[in-house]
Structure 1
Amino acid sequence: YVQCFCKLVKGLVKQHIDSFNYFINVEIKKIMKANEKVTSDADPMWYLKYLNIYVGTPDVEESFNVTRPVSPHECRLRDMTYSAPITVDIEYTRGSQRIIRNALPIGRMPIMLRSSNCVLTGKTPAEFAKLNECPLDPGTFVFKFLLPILAYSVKSSSAKEHIPSVWFLLLAQSNLFLNSVRLSAVTTSLGSLFQCATTLSVKNFLLMSSLNFPCLSNILGVIRDHQKLVNTFRIMRRAGYINEFVSISTNLSDRCVYISSDGGRLCRPYIIVKKQKPAVTNKHMEELAQGYRNFEDFLHEGLVEYLDVNEENDCNIALYEHTINKDTTHLEIEPFTLLGVCAGLIPYPHHNQSPRNTYQCAMGKQAMGTIGYNQRNRIDTLMYLLAYPQKPMVKTKTIELIDFEKLPAGQNATVAVMSYSGYDIEDALVLNKASLDRGFGRCLVYKNAKCTLKRYTNQTFDKVMGPMLDAATRKPIWRHEILDADGICSPGEKVENKQVLVNKSMPTVTQTPLEGSSVPQQPQYKDVPVTYKGATDSYIEKVMISSNAEDAFLIKMLLRQTRRPEIGDKFSSRHGQKGVCGLIVPQEDMPFCDTGICPDIIMNPHGFPSRMTVGKLIELLAGKAGVLDGRFHYGTAFGGSKVKDVCEDLIRHGYNYLGKDYVTSGITGEPLEAYIYFGPVYYQKLKHMVLDKMHARARGPRAVLTRQPTEGRSRDGGLRLGEMERDCLIGYGASMLLLERLMISSDAFEVDVCGQCGLLGYSGCHLCLRGRLPSLCLLPSFPPLQQINKPLEQIAGAACS
């Protein structure tokens, strides 16, 4: 049943696609009708009238007025917006003539993938492959320069009211929310405001001044029996006379009945319960499975209905069929539908502490895996891919519904729950070196580098020069070793830090010179190469040469790094138990069970009692039984494989009922004194790797303005000793450490200061003209002191003494 519902709603994006389709097919025509005629005060006989408006299919202009269809993949590669032309039919007057023009372009509209105007609509998986698209991609937008647009739209915070008053009017007939023009909700005088704030504290006063008023709506009528109205309304909705997304709810405190039909409300389907029996029977389910019925038939026949949050408050919803009583009005279709997509991926979430499930919902989005079938054909800004992703041994129904098995993000690791060497404290993991050699946790990091060759207004343009040759050996210099003869790096080459990817040169003068100024006959060029900046070496995966929407020459390079797990990399199970790699041990020193299996990961058992992730313990049992049986187990929320059945499977294969094994130490060769909890758990490698975060510097660049070390890892910056750290050092009396940190290693420089007037001088003071020579002092940067007119005499005396 849930599968049929997901087919109807097209995965997770039906509301977005339907909204976009409605806008480009209906709403845009309404906007045109509201502004369809333009007149002129100068000529009363002249007018311009819009007759119709269309949004076409995505295309790209190859030459003047010559267009061709374009695919989303091509737009991604060429840094273009996946958009379609907006054309109108207009009618206007020219003198006494009435002229009609059709298909006049007035702009472009970004097109959502899989919408009605997209080229992917109605395509088969084979046709998706021809277009270099993944059939599992739900659909999104392809924008050019999306991040800079978002960054420029951020505004600085302005002064706010102490007690903001925002009122909304609900117009029930037009389904619009309007912001009411109202100055303030607080009517107390200024004096009484401060008096209340002093007496009650500002926090309590603000809480007391927040008054709740019901939304002002248009009153449609007055009734005596509100329950009869609600029941009649629901009967008409179930019969199909009212749209299924219109809800009705009662508020006894306001003595009102609210009818909601506005967009944006979260509506969930429920099975209707009549006379303590669900309306959907086994016969209906068989017809649904055989294809004789679909989800819409259930809606039209009054077997299932949508409820929003307000109407759910008036209903008594049962989670299971055996819990239905005389007051039950609805039944959940499946208990696991209470959870979202991220929480639905967790096996046995009802056995975990709630914060752990919340953590996994966040970390599941950071896990590496497979992003799509077309991941090898894309040149994205940054991609993290797992080299050998696997299906989880313990699945959920949500995993099957969203096709997570086809694009997994993790690996099944054999885990031994035991303490080892002290490097596994605080959730740290001990990894098997042989497992890493075989590909466990190995990932690929793809980054792109690009440059454009532009044409300028003075008829000059950028160039790509060939590699520079060494005068003695006649071979390319080290920075240009990977360049071909055309000045562009070669695919497959290994690139190191500060090596050149594209040997680009641009003219020194790019503006059109003024009249009368001298212009050189041959333009002069300066080198602006595209260099590689990275702590580790990369390999050039592919090079693409094309043009963008401005018809500028575009060169894109995809760089690849293959990384194996190292100490400090972050891992996580599907139960919110994250931890870094604390130690990598050779397989010879790892413990092994009596069947000769060595674990991939050793986890400290102290991570279970405080986290209370019982679901992880059950997943290990179910995964172990599934490996022995050769089948997948289910850990769906509020259901799944029973622990008793899983344990009986283990006994049938000759294993311990509790999943424990007899383990021998790899160091001493002696059996361990306790049985070890041993089995497979699905682990995710997260994108947080120590190679991207580790930073230290002994010396480096300084900022010109402040003379202090630069900030940030990418700028080779220093580690700032902040104000609170300074206070700690002052409290401990570490004066020499403060001097070294805040001046010598920061912005210290030598300067000549006059000891009489405190001004700067060189070989004598130019102000007081005394014979006393200036003193050479080591001072921190003092422009802020000069800005407040602070003389340096006292500072100079202290520094030079």
Structure 2
Amino acid sequence: MPPKRVFKPIRPNNNNNNNNNNSTSNTAAPAPENHHQNDQPPPPILLEELESLLNQSTTNSSEQHLDTKPDISQIDHQNISQPKPAPLFRPLSPEPAPLPQKKNIQPPNIHQQQQHQQHPKKSSKNYPKKTHQNQSNVDNELWLSKNLTDPVKTVEDKWQLLPAFLKVKGLVKQHIDSFNYFVDVDLKAILRANATVISDVDPNFHLSYLDINVGEPSRLDTGSATNKRITPHECRLRDITYSAPISVTIQYTKGNKRVLSKGIPIGRIPIMLRSNKCVLTGKSDAELAKMTECPLDPGGYFVVKGTEKVILVQEQLSKNRILIETDSRKGTIMASVTSSTHERKSKTYVVTKNSKVYLKHNSIQEEIPIAIALKAYGITSDREVVQIVCGNNDDYRAAFSICMEHCHEAGVFTQKQALAYIGKSVKMVKKGPVAGPKRPLTEEALEVLSTVVLAHVPADNLNLQPKAIYLAVMARRVVQAMANPKLVDDRDYVGNKRLELAGQLLSLLFEDLFKKFNTDLKLNIDKVLKKPNRTTEFDAINQFRMHADHISNGFIRAISTGNWSIKRFKMERAGITHVLSRLSYISALGMMTRISSQFEKTRKVSGPRALQPSQWGMLCPSDTPEGEACGLVKNLALMTHITTDTDEEPIWNVAYTIGCEDISSVTGTELYLPRHYIVFINGNILGLTRSPERFVEVFRQFRRAGKISEFVSIYMNADQQTVNIATDGGRICRPMIIVTNGDSMVKTHHIEKLKAGELSFDDFLSQGLIEYLDCNEENDSFIALYEEDIDSYTTHLEIEPFTLLGAVAGLIPYPHHNQSPRNTYQCAMGKQAIGVIAYNQLHRIDTLLYLMVYPHHPMVRTKTIELVGYDKLPAGQNATVAVMSYSGYDIEDALILNKASLDRGFGRCQVFRKATAMIKRYPNGTYDRIADPPRDPEGQVLEKWKPCDDGGVADVGMKVYNGNVYINKQSPSNANDNSVGAGAATVTSWANTPMTYRGTVPSYIDKVMVTDTESDQTLVKVLLRQTRRPELGDKFSSRHGQKGVCGLIVQQEDMPFNDRGTCPDIIMNPHGFPSRMTVGKMLELLSGKAGVLRGTVEYGTAFGGSKAVEMSKILIEHGYSYLGKDYLTSGITGQPLEHYVFMGPIYYQKLKHMVLDKMHARARGPRAVLTRQPTEGRSRDGGLRLGEMERDCLIAHGASQLLLERLMLSSDSFELDVCQDCGFMGYNGWCVRCKNGNSVTKITIPYACKLLFQELMAMNIAPRLVLEDAIK
């Protein structure tokens, strides 16, 4: 429970006159400008500020009058739980408040939002019916000084808010904010929670942690034994971890005195790039260039042992929230709440069985009747039990009466009897090796109920009333769901989800490692203090050095493997981290916004995979993989922000001050009265409000005034009669423009100031023009898509409609004209496109790197392209495409390419591969070496070693062929000797272990780097380069999911040309359009052609962009057909083609799938040891599989001899001795079973078949071979 409230509830001043009210309605205190830039908690709220804000909402009427509105008689109090339109309230002041000026904050009219708090967003079906009287109110008050026929004023360049938003939030910023919160806040909180180490041996010894600090990223310089600053680029090249030391300040007893020590290292923590602790933060582009870093690199990932690793966003069900579910098979309803605290995680259920309600928990063996559980929590009166669950609702009472009868049958009437009843079923975990005296059942039951059941609800000093009310609310929800099945919750609703970011996951990991560190430290201290005859005075700092690597190795192991193992919570998770995909810039960016679900991917269920309406604007509808992960792996939309934890205490104070009563002062009778709403904060009951609409409205005014964090959300639920406040981290929210009195708060002059740099996005928040809404609060609002859609009900306006797409889907021009799966295909292929990955790409030595030689900006852009920087690091080229049929080589999406275009560099790319050799030092003192290349008698280097120089490493620029050695490494033959001594370092002989080039096509040595790693081992890295031009079978794709391989390369003189002599670069078959319905591709061609003729870049942004009619006008002005079609002449015959051809520029991407990497054939080669069949896979020089379908085809054709040859003779034929008498296998002409060799003959069968027979025999199953020749 929250602490006792600081402020007494302030009743509205009934003596305020109207003049005073009008004078204060525009004077909310301006918010501090910068408090939300780093998610810092807002400053404490002063009592005077609260009173001033409250006075804006008060009138000369009493508090009772605030809730007694003109139409309140229309509400049916008996059926208040049924969703009904809220009445249209009159304004709080007799005259409408003037519009806001400059930075003054105008809270929205209270009656406007309350109209729609229970109606879903973007719905035209659920508007409240307007009576004649209400309509006149709207006309006279809301639309005063406005004529409804006036043209709607729209704010141009509203989208300029997006770049301002992306500077402070969004895309990768949530990862960075989360890591910063972990380093700045969570580390200190974990230290405080584990602040002392006490010895069991010496009661005088005491060690306490006072402070913790994370230093700058550094590495240990072995030469000078000091830490040197390090950059991420150096870590990538040298295969070391980009980490910083963690140091603590401790106070401990040394002898008889207390000693304070600062800067004691306890380990190292990997540092996220672009976080507060990173050396790149706050650097200019020029400074980043000196560090060999790309200014456009998003950051948000780690460099561990030279590899870039991303901690993916993890999707979880929200903790500490009641969730109602139904089991359709059993026909039961269940309320569950997952309690999560620092000490423990547990799940509590309230379930139905045979129309009775039970409490269920893992620590209690049997299900406990709910009435007995409530009595055990101290609600002993039957009348109170019924009231606290059912209120005055007769239907609920009738349904609950069977539960009360159950309680009476069990003979439970008092709290002690209830505890004894529960105590019989409690399974307590014994702590410590020695079991203490057996405790009474009532004590055990009380401990479980107070600490384990509903663990997140505090029971201070065994005050169980908050838990009792919480359990009663859960039971009421179950009873409600029994009466109305529509009240069952949806697990997949975005508001019921929380996203775990890197900071939260690292926080869990660090707490586990730190507890283990302290446990080991205590054991070591006890071990030393046990010794009675210590010669030197004991110093605890020496013990720190012994365990310093424990935390460092724990972090590195978890991030390297992706396995999170938290022993305290028995949490085992795999696949948390992934290697950052550097295939293209957009693939790296897309990975940073990816959300991974822990849901089992092999399960074929549609619910979690479906596109939920609640995902609108929060998650990208297009960007999800195909296959088994479809719908489970999602991506964030463009303007999504993920919240971090906000302190609850200021929110308690605000809530108590604006009319929330402490729950302990409320009786069961009052709990569910029609106008009484329970106030929840992060799933815990805070209190009760008797005027919920006013409470929510005033709370929102506080948030817009900047008095509380802008990420706190509040919403009402009429079905449950609750007001829910959320301050927890992991909620998905997005910014919206506030609409008051039917007018958008953001005006043209605000946008002008934004463009001029006078305002930032944070200023829009602090001035109350924009606010963040999470999914639950969105449902409490009416949101207009465009300004012309704003009406009297509207509470918010979308900043831009195209922000409902993510960063990857936003690259598609005109996506709203495509069939939706095509956009999904492009999201996958856009990440595989070869392009430019970063400005420092030529300085990197990556395992595999694809680079486009001549990348282009797309002729048809979207606003997202400019926002995410894709125009600076593109992946594709503008190709002139003719949509026509040309020869038979263009069927099934194959493309015809112009040879002259390829000669000029179209589709040309470079492939870089890394080869690494480690010069190891062995424990016995020997080490590897790089030797000079061997020479023939004439002194010439042998052909195989030709690329190597005199040092044994290939020279830069040398051409290497298959089989060439480029690092002539040698290892000592006695490296594995375990002898350690002076003579152990003598090397008797050297074994050749060279690095040899394997590849059908020669490569060039691009770079050679010799350096040393963290462990002081010498590292040699060689970068190999190939330049490739497109060839038959290479894969290309437009930005509309229209992929195809190159079917034919044609000389330019054979290609068709238009009357201006232009030849297409690509010819595409027109049959690719009708069934795919990619109209966006046609519009891209039309816009691109118009842009080329006019010399401008056109825009194909979703739900907007350049209009087809305008593009056609431009084509006509320049003498082209308005349809984008051209008159073409055949290059082969010289005759005009008989039809106009649709021709123009389309942006094409070359994908990483190239024939050279996939081409594979085999005549003979290695075989598997076990089955003696050819190995599998191109890398192992494997065979080509003849599968089930191919076998069926050969059987259908009757080609039995071919079948025999493929499946046996060319695979694993084996000569086997078989006894014709007994049918068992013989050996070397002898049958062991018959004890003779007379009937043994040889047959040929597949070796795998022989292996199967032997394995069956091992299982005591006897297969016998009956031979045709042996049948008599």
Identify whether the pair has TM-score above 0.5, normalized to the shorter chain: yes
Relative to structure 1, the CA distance from residue 338 to residue 514 in structure 2 (aligned partners, 3 Å threshold; closer, same or farther) is closer
Question: 1:245-301 CA deviation, whole Å, 9 max, x = no partner?
Answer: 111223333333322222122211111111111011112222222222221121112
Counterpart selection for 2:193 from 15, 28, 34 = 34
Counterpart residue number, 2:62: none
Distance 1:107 1:328 in 2: 54
Counterpart residue number, 2:240: 80
Distance 1:760 1:184 in 2: 66
Helix, strand or coil for the counterpart of 2:221?
A: strand
Q: How does 1:509-524 map to 2 (within 5 A)?
A: 509-513=974-978, 522-524=987-989
Counterpart residue number, 2:1168: 703
Counterpart residue number, 1:104: 264
Q: Which amino acid aligns with 2:835?
A: G
Helix, strand or coil for the counterpart of 2:171?
A: coil
Counterpart residue number, 1:525: 990
Relative to structure 1, the CA distance from residue 582 to residue 232 in structure 2 (aligned partners, 3 Å threshold; closer, same or farther) is same
Counterpart selection for 1:351 from 809, 817, 832 = 817
Q: Which amino acid aligns with 2:900?
A: A
Moved more, 327-336 or 430-439: 327-336
Counterpart residue number, 2:117: none
**1:22 equivalent in alignment to 2:181:** yes
Question: 1:380-439 CA deviation, whole Å, 9 max, x = no partner?
Answer: 011111110011111111111112111111111001111111211122111101000100
**1:61 equivalent in alignment to 2:239:** no
Helix, strand or coil for the counterpart of 1:795?
A: coil
Relative to structure 1, the CA distance from residue 785 to residue 424 in structure 2 (aligned partners, 3 Å threshold; closer, same or farther) is same
**1:126 equivalent in alignment to 2:286:** yes
Q: Which amino acid aligns with 1:431?
A: L
Counterpart residue number, 1:786: 1254
Q: Is the 8 A contact 1:169 1:217 kept in 2?
A: no
Relative to structure 1, the CA distance from residue 734 to residue 4 in structure 2 (aligned partners, 3 Å threshold; closer, same or farther) is closer
| 1:773 shift after superposition | 7.5
Moved more, 376-385 or 641-650: 641-650
Q: Which amino acid aligns with 1:598?
A: C
Relative to structure 1, the CA distance from residue 761 to residue 186 in structure 2 (aligned partners, 3 Å threshold; closer, same or farther) is farther
Question: 1:726-767 CA deviation, whole Å, 9 max, x = no partner?
Answer: 456556655433322332222212244454553432255566
Counterpart selection for 1:713 from 1175, 1178, 1181 = 1178
Q: Is the 8 A contact 1:342 1:364 kept in 2?
A: yes
Q: Is the 8 A contact 1:428 1:582 kept in 2?
A: yes
Q: How does 1:312-323 map to 2 (within 5 A)?
A: 312-323=778-789
Q: Is the 8 A contact 2:338 2:348 kept in 1?
A: no
Question: 1:592-613 CA deviation, whole Å, 9 max, x = no partner?
Answer: 0000010000111121121111
Helix, strand or coil for the counterpart of 2:914?
A: strand
**1:644 equivalent in alignment to 2:1109:** yes
Counterpart selection for 1:265 from 731, 739, 753 = 731
Q: Is the 8 A contact 1:166 1:179 kept in 2?
A: no
Aligned residues: 768
| 1:76 shift after superposition | 0.3
Relative to structure 1, the CA distance from residue 186 to residue 539 in structure 2 (aligned partners, 3 Å threshold; closer, same or farther) is farther
Question: 1:58-101 CA deviation, whole Å, 9 max, x = no partner?
Answer: 11112163221111111000011111111122222222132332
Relative to structure 1, the CA distance from residue 500 to residue 755 in structure 2 (aligned partners, 3 Å threshold; closer, same or farther) is farther
Distance 1:220 1:181 in 2: 20
Relative to structure 1, the CA distance from residue 123 to residue 213 in structure 2 (aligned partners, 3 Å threshold; closer, same or farther) is closer
Q: How does 1:324-403 map to 2 (within 5 A)?
A: 324-403=790-869
Q: Which amino acid aligns with 1:635?
A: G
Q: Is the 8 A contact 1:170 1:177 kept in 2?
A: no
Q: Is the 8 A contact 2:1219 2:1231 kept in 1?
A: yes
Relative to structure 1, the CA distance from residue 32 to residue 148 in structure 2 (aligned partners, 3 Å threshold; closer, same or farther) is closer
Distance 2:1270 2:906 in 1: 62
**Aligned-pair Cα RMSD in Å:** 3.1
**1:169 equivalent in alignment to 2:347:** no
**1:662 equivalent in alignment to 2:1127:** yes
Distance 1:162 1:519 in 2: 73
Distance 2:923 2:716 in 1: 68
Question: 1:219-261 CA deviation, whole Å, 9 max, x = no partner?
Answer: 2233344333322222221122221111122333333332222
Counterpart residue number, 1:141: 302
Counterpart residue number, 1:92: 252
Relative to structure 1, the CA distance from residue 147 to residue 660 in structure 2 (aligned partners, 3 Å threshold; closer, same or farther) is closer
Helix, strand or coil for the counterpart of 1:142?
A: strand
Q: Is the 8 A contact 1:11 1:138 kept in 2?
A: no
| 1:23 shift after superposition | 1.0
Relative to structure 1, the CA distance from residue 750 to residue 175 in structure 2 (aligned partners, 3 Å threshold; closer, same or farther) is closer
Q: Is the 8 A contact 1:175 1:262 kept in 2?
A: no
Question: 1:484-523 CA deviation, whole Å, 9 max, x = no partner?
Answer: 122111211111223222121212333443699x989543
Q: Is the 8 A contact 1:455 1:461 kept in 2?
A: yes
Counterpart selection for 1:593 from 1058, 1070, 1092 = 1058
* Percent identity between the two aligned chains: 57
Moved more, 725-734 or 550-559: 725-734
Q: Is the 8 A contact 1:573 1:684 kept in 2?
A: yes
Q: How does 1:129-208 map to 2 (within 5 A)?
A: 129-139=289-299, 140-144=301-305, 169=337, 178-180=345-347
Distance 1:431 1:176 in 2: 65
Q: Is the 8 A contact 1:754 1:761 kept in 2?
A: no
| 1:5 shift after superposition | 2.6
Q: Is the 8 A contact 2:1253 2:1263 kept in 1?
A: no
Distance 2:1021 2:1181 in 1: 26
Helix, strand or coil for the counterpart of 2:689?
A: coil
Relative to structure 1, the CA distance from residue 278 to residue 338 in structure 2 (aligned partners, 3 Å threshold; closer, same or farther) is same
Q: Is the 8 A contact 1:759 1:793 kept in 2?
A: no
| 1:316 shift after superposition | 1.5
Relative to structure 1, the CA distance from residue 372 to residue 519 in structure 2 (aligned partners, 3 Å threshold; closer, same or farther) is closer
| Unaligned segments of structure 1, at least 5 residues | 151-160, 189-207
| 1:684 shift after superposition | 0.8
| Unaligned segments of structure 2, at least 5 residues | 1-159, 312-326, 356-484, 497-681
Distance 1:130 1:711 in 2: 47
| 1:34 shift after superposition | 1.1
| 1:686 shift after superposition | 1.0
Counterpart selection for 2:872 from 366, 387, 406 = 406
Q: Is the 8 A contact 1:353 1:611 kept in 2?
A: yes
**1:297 equivalent in alignment to 2:742:** no
Distance 2:1255 2:1128 in 1: 72
Q: Which amino acid aligns with 1:740?
A: E
Q: So what's the TM-score if we normalise by structure 1?
A: 0.90
Distance 1:746 1:792 in 2: 26
Q: Is the 8 A contact 2:270 2:302 kept in 1?
A: yes
Moved more, 302-311 or 733-742: 733-742
Helix, strand or coil for the counterpart of 2:1021?
A: strand
Counterpart residue number, 2:32: none
Q: Is the 8 A contact 2:236 2:306 kept in 1?
A: no
Q: Is the 8 A contact 1:593 1:664 kept in 2?
A: yes
Q: Is the 8 A contact 1:170 1:218 kept in 2?
A: no
Q: Which amino acid aligns with 1:795?
A: L
Counterpart residue number, 1:202: none
